Amino acid sequence: ALQIFDVLRKVGKLHTFSAGLLIGGKDLKQEQERVARMNILVCTPGRLLQHMDQTPDFGCDNLQILVLDEADRILDCGFEKTINAIVANLPKERQTLLFSATQTKSVRDLARLSLKDPEYVAVHDKSEHSTPKQLVQKYLVCDLPQKLDILYSFIRSHLKQKVIVFVSSCKQVRFIHEVLCKLQPGTVIMCLHGKQKQPKRMAIFDQFCRKTAVVLIATDVAARGLDFPSVEWVVQLDCPEDADTYIHRVGRTARYESAGQALLMLLPSEEKGMMEELAKKKVPVERIRVNPGKTVSIQGKMRAFCSENPEIKYLAQKAFISYIRSVHLQGNKTVFDVHALPAEAYAESLGLPGAPKIKVIKKKNESRQLAKINAEEEKSEAVDSGDDLSEARSKIDKMFEKKNLTVLSEHYAKIKTDDDAADDDEEDFMTLKRKDHEVDDIELPILELSHRQLLRAKAKELKARGSGQKMVFDEEGNPRLAYELQSLDAFEAEGKVDERTAAYLEEASELMRVADAEDKTIAKEKMKAKKKERKMKERKLRQEEEDAPLDIDMGESDDDEEEEEEKPAVEVGRKRGRGAPPARQREEKGGSKKRRIDVGGLGQESLEDIAFKLLGGN
Highest mean pLDDT among 109-113, 358-362, 496-500: 496-500
Q: Where are the domains of the chain?
A: 2-112, 135-349, 558-614
Exposed, middle or buried by CB within 10 Å (0-12, 13-18, 19+), for 145? middle
Query: Tens digits of per-residue pLDDT, 236-286?
Result: 999 999 998 999 999 999 988 899 999 999 999 999 999 999 999 899 999
Least confident segment among 116-130, 544-558, 579-593: 579-593
Rounded CA gap, 238 and 384, in Å? 47
Q: Give the pLDDT band of residue 397 (cuts 50, 70, 90).
A: low
- 446 — pLDDT class (breaks 50, 70, 90): low
Topology, domain 135-349: Rossmann fold (3.40.50)
Examine the pLDDT at 234 and tell me if it is beyond 90: yes
Q: What is the pLDDT of residue 436?
A: 53
What is the per-residue pLDDT for 485?
76
Q: Please say whether the structural domain 2-112 has been given the CATH code 3.30.43.10.
A: no
CB atoms within 10 A of CB 316: 25
Please give the Cα distance from 312 to 306 (Å, whole number).
5
Q: Are strands 569-572 and 595-598 parallel, antiparallel or unpaired?
A: antiparallel
* Segment 188-229, tens digit of pLDDT: 999 999 999 988 998 999 999 999 999 999 999 999 888 899
Burial class (CB in 10 A: 0-12, 13-18, 19+), 546: middle
In this structure, which amino acid lies at residue 81?
K
Q: Which residues pair with 266 in a beta bridge?
A: 141
Check residue 303 and give its pLDDT: 93
What values do phi and psi take at 214, rounded to 5? -160, 155
Q: What is the DSSP letter of 487?
A: P
Structural contact between residues 269 and 337, judged by C-beta atoms closer than 8 angstroms: yes
* pLDDT classification of 549: cutoffs 50, 70, 90: low
Q: Do 135-349 and 2-112 have the same topology in CATH?
A: yes
Of residues 546, 555, 617, the one with CA closest to residue 581: 546
d(CA 278, CA 347): 30
Distinct helix (H) and strand (E) counts, the chain: 23, 15
User: What is the rounded distance in angstroms from the CA atom of residue 177 to the CA atom of residue 195?
Assistant: 14
Q: 38-42, 115-119, 155-159, 196-200: which range is least confident on average?
A: 115-119
State if pTM tops 0.75: no
